[in-house]
């Protein structure tokens, strides 16, 4: 088997770390960078090459994956003083798996294109567990002709790689899904809470909803009421899962996108405000299904 | 086959009419009453007995089904000057399939119990089509020992008869489901609208949601965006289905129940207000999925 | 000075107690009843006549004031087994100062009218302080011809007695005012919080709002931000004033009235939910302006 | 009287036009630029100097006022290819009266400072009428030492010039005021509508609110209900005044600021969505008080 050409990886946090390891498992040598040198150590020990800036990654790899926490970090990694764009090679494929504002993705794509390279946005759904097991879903936006090339790499890290359309549509799909998820989850929590107060048994109510038109992923797969399902965060004091802070962040992106496209999101913006409040009241690190606990009328927490 | 004892039926409207016919098909002679005599004519022609008040129904039948549009109509039918309670026989089984405030169901149950009879609330889900084909779902609240007796009749009209608990829990289950349905539907409409404006193809977006955590009945079975699915109201200019007025009514019941039990329903109350506005803006008779059209930023309607 | 005829007073709680005392100061002998005998003791000691039921009050007085916490208490006092209606004299004037559902006021008025007596709803604004100093505002609904008679008594307890129209409009005016108050207060709290985070000095921001179109009673007379004004609950850790629980109750009445009249109240229903949540999170007894503290993003409370 | 040094003015739209004329009345020669040459003609005819880019304005004037519709226009005027920054002189005073995102004001201020010049944000409140009569209110953010210099010019165009703090706080004060205004206006509209449906006379209800704690600028100075006040847009079919589109724009800025500072604005974001919907339903050009008409449950419009 001929050796593979190296792949750059920028951003080795909770998600980036296991993603990069899955690339290694598939035989790709890595060129690594993270603003926190400690995050690189593990890879260095494993024999991967660690460099000192995104620009240096771009010098040594013509396929690069970025996995960063916010729009600002992504802009810095691409357009900063030592950013990718300083040394990117013509024809390079740059895949950003961060969840950021689709408008920023489009901006970055324009700058990348000016340098003769290709940019794709490919945010993920699925958490750390899916990242470890290589079962992430990637939602990919960019030129369709390049999708196959992106798929080769993304398929090492995810079981589901979906082409969504032009640059920015990967982000759009991600934030759309998460907005609907947040609305359904809060709706499920409100509904279960109301039903319980009206005298319904929570397991029975969940069963009725799940065979009726109220059914949703939050009611049938990730029920927020303790005791209704096993193996979900509500069964474990809302530990693990997808934190309220992360949901609040995604809803902020949805809100920004809705404002700039003048789209009315009455429930979406309300959901954003609810997660914002939860973050201020001690729920930041709890799974987002803890909104049930938040709405429940009990003084102690 | 021994002939069956007659069943009383009060309220022969859009829903009551086909429900009563299904009882006839199963061989039950009917004792019929409706405030609008015209509604009874068809049954009279078919040989059923029409009487002139709910009290008269109660005199001639010891199992009675009521199917009425509002709490006020139900109170009148039971406690009015010529109501069921005036002549109800001891041991009678009174099943109310109206969708009303669970607190009213409990009140009626108390009065019925004083007369030595049994009351159950058994609201339905499924529309006129399901009523015709005998495929309604009944959510039943009342004494568990009497459930089998209720099931005998309800099973003639529905394919799904679910015992929910004490009196009032049938109503509770119904309004809980519909509140979550309204929230999910509006959420789906907002999400699809936002995604489309961000450049996503609606069919693709629906597909992505349906394989992800945003999945819900409104996205995968009853998508509100024209062109995404066949055979749903959105494919037919939002005709048929479940009208916005009916949804607004059910959300009003949810709101009343939430207020009286002091349950916070942030999205539920917002959903109520949205359907309230839609009713004022020409959408009353359109299917409730027309909220997509309502949110879409287009002047013409 | 000829001695005055006695006035009945039912409900001697936090508000009723000082109101009744103001009637005494104006020379009216009282016929007293409260479900809690202890509440009557003070009046008995002062020589007023204490009786054992609302019916007994009605037997001895032809002008009666009721001041009760909820619709249910008012219904009991009027229509209960020993209620006013059991012994009310023809031509009596019955004034209900409770804050209740206007629909209930109308119901009570009908029953009272059947007995040949007159009913008026006259809820108050102003708290315990205004009740003590005789500075309440009464909003009065009922037959206009009887307003002068009502005014004679209400003027002893309030400085402002406003005729609002037919029975129920007193309640309507009260809950309308309080709904707008709740909305403005939350709006002021959100605005001050946002401004502070954007770097504005709270006193300066309040000054700018108060000379601009954002001005409202909550910003210029009862500012919710500690340090902006003296002599308001926000200057005293939100003690005293008008408790969040009471505001939640009034918003529940507004919500019920809006639902039954099919009036869209998008912000009103949201305000209701916010106070509902606050009551569940330890703010029940704090002044309603503590919503500023609730929205402020600080973990400790 | 010694002749005054010229002042640059960029943006001669509905607001900029009368503002610039007031500077002329006070004897300031103008250096004029607008992207639409037609907008400059009137000033050219009056003898003022018209140039062909913001850069040219900066070359000829060391005090410049910009009055532009959006953040993007402001960025272009300052940082564009022919923007002010290309030729700005050291020590120049640049005052931006546009209403834009405070974060953008801060960005512009940084760039201006690098060139050795001074930037202040000074958005206005008051509409075209106040601009004509020189009665605008300016809310000014920037270095306090320069406030007197700004005041000299702004005082020619407004009767009220308020120093708000560091750069960006002028914008912050503006959007805070308008957010509270929008909330109060919608609240007033909901309240008046509910009261009317409960049987209250609108004039009487307004009177009661205005002497009570529900009082706000929208109820006492700009009442949205036709027939309650004279001389306001509601008395004139909601023509004139402050258009719903402009309010939606300002609420979008408030929403962006709240998202980026993680401030919960439950009612503010709901107000944003409501004006967003109104713009889609034919109310864009109507005064923002037309929300009363929008909420009123009447089919015709």
- Subunit contact B194:A179, Cβ cutoff 8 A: yes
- C83 and C199 assigned to the same domain: no
| Residue A298: predicted pLDDT | 58
For B:147-176, CB contacts with A below 8 A are 160, 162, 164-166, 168-169, 172-173, 176
Nearest CA in chain C to B278: C264
Residue after which a domain boundary falls, among D104, D136, D166: D166
**For residue C160, which phi and psi values (nearest 5 degrees)?**
-145, 115
How much is the average pLDDT of A49-57? 97
Residue after which a domain boundary falls, among A132, A166, A200: A166
- Subunit contact A255:D255, Cβ cutoff 8 A: yes
Q: How far is the C-alpha of D11 from the C-alpha of D250, rounded, in Å?
A: 19
ipTM of the assembly? 0.93
- Subunit contact D297:B280, Cβ cutoff 8 A: yes
For D29, counting Cβ atoms within 10 Å of its Cβ (0-12 exposed, 13-18 middle, 19+ buried), the class is middle
- C207 and C242 assigned to the same domain: yes
Nearest CA in chain C to D259: C194
- B252 and B132 assigned to the same domain: no
CA pseudo-torsion sign D145, D146, D151, D154? negative
Residue B1, domain member (yes or no): no
Beta bridge partners of C10: C33, C66
| B7 labelled ligand-binding | yes
For the segment B70-126, what is each residue's pLDDT rounded down to a tens digit? 999 999 999 999 999 999 999 999 999 999 999 999 999 999 999 999 999 999 988
Q: How far is the C-alpha of D6 from the C-alpha of D95, rounded, in Å?
A: 14
**For residue D243, which phi and psi values (nearest 5 degrees)?**
-65, 150
- Subunit contact B281:D281, Cβ cutoff 8 A: yes
Q: How far is the C-alpha of B25 from the C-alpha of B46, rounded, in Å?
A: 12
Tally of structural domains, chain D? 2
Q: Are D9 and D39 in contact (CB under 8 A)?
A: no
pLDDT at B229 over 70: yes
Please check whether residue C219 touches D, CB under 8 A: yes
- Dig out the tokens for B252 from the structure: 């009003």
For the segment D16-60, what is each residue's pLDDT rounded down to a tens digit? 999 999 999 999 999 999 999 999 999 999 999 999 999 999 999
Q: Are B212 and A250 in contact (CB under 8 A)?
A: no
Task: State the Rg of chain D over Cα.
Answer: 21
Position D300 confidence tier, pLDDT thresholds 50, 70, 90: very low
For the segment B141-176, what is each residue's pLDDT rounded down to a tens digit? 999 999 999 999 999 999 999 999 999 999 999 999
How much is the average pLDDT of D241-268? 94
Chains with 3 or more CB pairs closer than 8 angstroms to C?
Answer: A, B, D
- Dig out the tokens for B26 from the structure: 């199963």
- Dig out the tokens for D297 from the structure: 């449950």
- C220 and C178 assigned to the same domain: yes
Residue C301, domain member (yes or no): no
Q: Are B214 and A184 in contact (CB under 8 A)?
A: yes
Q: How far is CA D76 from the centre of its chain?
A: 19
| Residue D299: predicted pLDDT | 44
Position A300 confidence tier, pLDDT thresholds 50, 70, 90: very low
Residue A300, domain member (yes or no): no
- Subunit contact A176:B193, Cβ cutoff 8 A: no
- Subunit contact D263:C194, Cβ cutoff 8 A: yes
Q: How far is the C-alpha of A144 from the C-alpha of A151, rounded, in Å?
A: 11
The closest alpha carbon to B255, from D255, A295, C272, A270, belongs to C272
| D68 labelled ligand-binding | yes
Position D298 confidence tier, pLDDT thresholds 50, 70, 90: low
DSSP secondary structure, C231-243, as one string = SSGGGGTT-SSSB
Q: How far is the C-alpha of A212 from the C-alpha of D94, rounded, in Å?
A: 62
For D:109-138, CB contacts with C below 8 A are 125, 137
For B:66-105, CB contacts with A below 8 A are 102
When CB atoms are compared, the residue of D184, D216, D295 closest to C264 is D295
Residue D1, domain member (yes or no): no
- Subunit contact B282:D299, Cβ cutoff 8 A: yes
Out of A191-195, B25-29, B297-301, D76-80, which region has the weakest mean confidence (pLDDT)?
A: B297-301
Task: State the Rg of chain A over Cα.
Answer: 21
CATH number at residue C108: 3.40.50.720
Residues on chain A touching D270 (C-beta within 8 angstroms): 266, 269-270
- C33 and C181 assigned to the same domain: no
For B:2-31, CB contacts with A below 8 A are none
Q: Are C56 and C87 in contact (CB under 8 A)?
A: yes
| Residue count of chain B | 301
3-state SS string for D57-81: HHHHCCEEEECCCCHHHHHHHHHCC
- Subunit contact A256:D259, Cβ cutoff 8 A: yes
Q: B49-84: string of b/e by CB count within 10 Å (b at 16+)?
A: bbbebbbbbbbebbbbbbbbbebebbbbbbbbebbb
Residue D2, domain member (yes or no): no
Residues on chain C touching D184 (C-beta within 8 angstroms): 183-184, 187, 214, 216
What 3-state DSSP class applies to D249? helix
* Test the B interface: residue of C259, C260, C265 with most B CBs within 10 Å: C259
DSSP secondary structure, chain B, as one string = -PPPPPEEEE--STTHHHHHHHHHHTT--EEEE-SSTHHHHHHHHTT-EE-SSHHHHHHH-SEEEE--SSHHHHHHHHHSTT-HHHHPPTT-EEEE-S---HHHHHHHHHHHHHTT-EEEE--EES-HHHHHHT-EEEEEES-GGGHHHHHHHHTTTEEEEEEEESTTHHHHHHHHHHHHHHHHHHHHHHHHHHHHHTT--HHHHHHHHHTSTT-BHHHHTS--STTT-SSSGGGGTT-SSSBHHHHHHHHHHHHHHHHHTT---HHHHHHHHHHHHHHHTT-TTSBGGGHHHHHS--S--
When CB atoms are compared, the residue of A255, A259, A273 closest to D266 is A273
**For residue D287, which phi and psi values (nearest 5 degrees)?**
-60, 150
When CB atoms are compared, the residue of B266, B277, B279 closest to C273 is B266
pLDDT at A144 over 70: yes
- C73 and C209 assigned to the same domain: no
Position D127 confidence tier, pLDDT thresholds 50, 70, 90: confident
Parent domain of C60 = 7-166
Q: How far is the C-alpha of A276 from the C-alpha of A286, rounded, in Å?
A: 13
- D76 and D221 assigned to the same domain: no
CATH number at residue B248: 1.10.1040.10
- Contacts for B207 with CB less than 8 Å, ≥ 6 apart: none
Residue with tokens 């037309």, as numbered in its chain: D290
| Residue C2: predicted pLDDT | 53
Please check whether residue A281 touches C, CB under 8 A: yes
| pTM (predicted TM-score) | 0.93
- B24 and B138 assigned to the same domain: yes
Q: Are C188 and C219 in contact (CB under 8 A)?
A: yes
- Subunit contact C299:A277, Cβ cutoff 8 A: no
- Contacts for A107 with CB less than 8 Å, ≥ 6 apart: none
Percent above pLDDT 90 for chain D: 93
Residue A261, domain member (yes or no): yes
- B105 and B148 assigned to the same domain: yes
When CB atoms are compared, the residue of C162, C194, C201 closest to D165 is C201
- D243 and D275 assigned to the same domain: yes
Residue B177, domain member (yes or no): yes
Nearest CA in chain C to B265: C273
How much is the average pLDDT of A171-197? 98
How much is the average pLDDT of B40-61? 97
Residues on chain B touching D296 (C-beta within 8 angstroms): 280
Q: Is B282 left (phi over 0), alpha (psi -120 to 50) or beta?
A: left
Cα distance from D264 to chain A (closest Cα, Å)?
5
When CB atoms are compared, the residue of C270, C279, C298 closest to A280 is C298
- B130 and B269 assigned to the same domain: no
How much is the average pLDDT of A22-35? 97
**For residue A136, which phi and psi values (nearest 5 degrees)?**
-65, 160
**For residue C248, which phi and psi values (nearest 5 degrees)?**
-60, -40
Q: Are B51 and B32 in contact (CB under 8 A)?
A: yes
Please check whether residue D213 touches C, CB under 8 A: yes
Q: How far is the C-alpha of A134 from the C-alpha of A161, rounded, in Å?
A: 12
Please check whether residue C188 touches D, CB under 8 A: yes
DSSP secondary structure, D188-206, as one string = HHHHHHHHHHTT--HHHHH
Q: Are D214 and C222 in contact (CB under 8 A)?
A: no
Q: Are D136 and D124 in contact (CB under 8 A)?
A: yes
Task: State the Rg of chain B over Cα.
Answer: 21
Q: Is A92 left (phi over 0), alpha (psi -120 to 50) or beta?
A: beta
- Dig out the tokens for C10 from the structure: 């039912």
- A80 and A195 assigned to the same domain: no
How much is the average pLDDT of D53-70? 97
Residue after which a domain boundary falls, among C99, C131, C166: C166
pLDDT at A2 over 60: no
Q: What is the pLDDT along chain C (301 residues), one digit of tens a residue?
A: 457 899 999 999 999 999 999 999 999 999 999 999 999 999 999 999 999 999 999 999 999 999 999 999 999 999 999 999 999 999 999 999 999 999 999 999 999 999 999 999 999 988 888 999 999 999 999 999 999 999 999 999 999 999 999 999 999 999 999 999 999 999 999 999 999 999 999 999 999 999 999 999 999 999 999 999 999 999 999 998 899 999 999 999 999 999 999 999 999 999 999 999 999 888 999 999 999 999 986 543 3
Q: Are D30 and D23 in contact (CB under 8 A)?
A: yes
pLDDT at A12 over 60: yes
Residues on chain B touching D295 (C-beta within 8 angstroms): 277, 280
- Contacts for B45 with CB less than 8 Å, ≥ 6 apart: none
Return the DSSP state at C301. -
Q: Are D164 and D139 in contact (CB under 8 A)?
A: yes
D172, containing H or E segment:
helix D169-197
Residue D93, domain member (yes or no): yes
Does residue D285 carry a catalytic annotation? no
The closest alpha carbon to B192, from B205, B208, B173, belongs to B205
């Amino acid at each position: 088997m001929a050796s593979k050409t190296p792949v750059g990886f920028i951003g080795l946090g909770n998600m980036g770390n296991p993603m990069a390891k899955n690339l290694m498992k598939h035989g790709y040598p890595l060129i690594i960078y993270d603003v926190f040198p400690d995050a690189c150590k593990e890879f260095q020990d494993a024999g991967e090459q660690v460099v000192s800036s995104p620009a240096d990654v771009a010098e040594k790899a013509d396929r690069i994956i970025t996995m960063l926490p916010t729009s600002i970090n992504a802009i810095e990694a691409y357009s900063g003083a030592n950013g990718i764009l300083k040394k990117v090679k013509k024809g390079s494929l740059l895949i950003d798996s961060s969840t950021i504002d689709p408008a920023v993705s489009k901006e970055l794509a324009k700058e990348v294109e000016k340098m003769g390279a290709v940019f794709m946005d490919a945010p993920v759904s699925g958490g750390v567990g899916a990242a470890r097991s290589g079962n992430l879903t990637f939602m990919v936006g960019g030129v369709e002709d390049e999708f196959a090339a992106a798929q080769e790499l993304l398929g090492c890290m995810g079981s589901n790689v979906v082409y969504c359309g032009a640059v920015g549509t990967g982000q759009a799909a991600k934030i759309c899904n998460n907005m609907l998820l947040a609305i359904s989850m809060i709706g499920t929590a409100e509904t279960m809470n109301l039903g319980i107060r009206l005298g319904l048994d929570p397991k029975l109510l969940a069963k009725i909803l799940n065979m009726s038109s109220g059914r949703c992923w939050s009611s049938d797969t990730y029920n927020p009421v303790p005791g209704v399902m096993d193996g979900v965060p509500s069964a474990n004091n809302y530990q693990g899962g997808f934190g309220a802070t992360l949901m609040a962040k995604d809803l902020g992106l949805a809100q920004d996108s809705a404002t700039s496209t003048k789209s009315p999101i009455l429930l979406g913006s309300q959901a954003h405000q609810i997660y914002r409040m939860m973050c201020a009241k001690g729920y930041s690190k709890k799974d987002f299904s803890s909104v049930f606990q938040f709405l429940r009328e009990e003084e102690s927490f």
